[in-house]
Amino acid sequence: MNGAAFVVGLAAGAGAALVVLLAAFAVGLRTGRHRGVDVAWGLGFAAVALTGYGLSAGYGDAGRRALVTALVVVWGVRLAVHIGRRSRGHGEDPRYAALLAGAPPGREGRYALRKVYLLQAGILWFVALPVVAAQYLPQRLGPLAWAGTGLWALGLFFEAVGDRQLARFKADPANRGQVMDRGLWRYTRHPNYFGDACVWWGLFLFALAEPIGWAFVASPLLMTWLLAFGSGKPLLERQMAARKPGWAEYAARTSPFLPLPPRRAADRAS
């Protein structure tokens, strides 16, 4: 790996993430709603990957660069489109409404910029580090890269299919007020979060063509922690427990993160 070129790629990736999140901030100020940052999340990863792809030409293996970039762009654009469709016609996301309720009077915009947009830009860039590293590696695609592609595909399946199943469930008026416990949601309370974690562990494997790739293991660890213990699963489950009468029973029989067979009543009682 060319260290100097890689540093340039890291800096440019940070700039790309910042540009996307600042654009989302401008939209949020104009509309008075900041839920659009979730759309920018996926697009930001795509922007970092495309920036790294362009700058790594002549340094990294062409096949590795193209494949890891394509995987990130497909994942990021799909996520952005899905969230954009899901949020269309809705007001502010309750998470951001609660967060921004603590803003000092008259400084809501600065507060949102610091607490939402700049923070997410930094996290986004940090999580994407293995992707940028992989783009600068000269090694041709090998077993680890193909294993990473397989893990990415598994993750995308759980994300896309889980999202689709939930959207169809919510679209049926007969399911209003009920807990989604069908399809992939029968085996894990969060198939989309589990899939997201698989995607980023799969992309991390691309960086392991050289031992330096292990220096970026904190990136998928952070993403997994955020999904399972940070701003993902715990916050959503608190909201679900407050709104859905059947949530406690569903949570008692369904794996919290990893897909597992539902627990039987006898197992739950023991």
pLDDT tens digit sequence for 191-211: 999 999 999 999 999 999 999
Pair 43, 157 in one domain? no
Q: Which residue has the tokens 């998470």?
A: 95
What is the Cα–Cα distance from 23 to 248, expressed in whole angstroms? 40
What single-letter amino acid sits at 63?
Answer: G
Same-domain status, 176 and 267: yes
Is the pLDDT reported for residue 92 higher than 80?
no
Residues 124 and 153 in one domain: no
Q: What is the pLDDT of residue 119?
A: 92
| Residue 201: partners with Cβ closer than 8 Å, 6 or more residues away | 148, 151, 155, 220, 224
* Per-residue pLDDT reduced to its tens digit, 245-263: 888 898 999 999 999 999 8
Structure tokens at 234: 């715990």
Residues 6+ apart with CB under 8 A from 247: 179, 237, 240, 241
Weakest-pLDDT range from 26-40, 153-167, 203-217: 26-40
Structure tokens at 55: 């700058």
Same domain, 131 and 239: no
- Of 32-36, 73-77, 201-205, minimum mean pLDDT range: 32-36
Alpha carbon distance 244, 240 (integer Å):
6
One domain, residues 124 and 199: no
Q: Which of 91, 119, 139 is the last residue of a domain?
A: 139
Average pLDDT, the chain: 90
Asked if residue 265 has pLDDT above 70, the reply is no
Same domain, 28 and 95: yes
CA dist., res. 9 & res. 54, Å (int): 9
Residue-level pLDDT at 197: 96
Confidence of residue 90 (pLDDT cuts 50, 70, 90): confident
Q: 180 or 158, which is more confident?
A: 158
Rg of the chain (C-alpha set): 20
Residues 146 and 111 in one domain: no
What confidence score (pLDDT) does residue 68 get?
98
pLDDT at 233: 78
Quickly state the pLDDT bin for 266 (edges 50, 70, 90).
very low
pLDDT of residue 267: 57
Q: Are residues 258 and 204 in the same domain?
A: yes
Q: What would the pLDDT profile of 150-161 be if each residue is shown by its tens digit? A: 999 999 999 999
Q: Which of 139, 173, 188 is the last residue of a domain?
A: 139
Q: Provide the pLDDT for residue 12.
A: 97
Are residues 26 and 76 both part of a single domain? yes
Could you tell me if 158 and 84 lie in one domain? no
Q: And the tokens for 211? A: 């031992």
Per-residue pLDDT band for 231 (boundaries 50, 70, 90) equals confident
> 234-248 pLDDT, tens per residue?
777 887 777 788 888
Q: 198 Cβ partners below 8 Å, 6+ apart?
A: 151, 152, 154, 155, 158
Range of the domain at 240: 142-270
The residue type found at 203 is L
CB atoms within 10 A of CB 173: 6
Domain count, the chain: 2
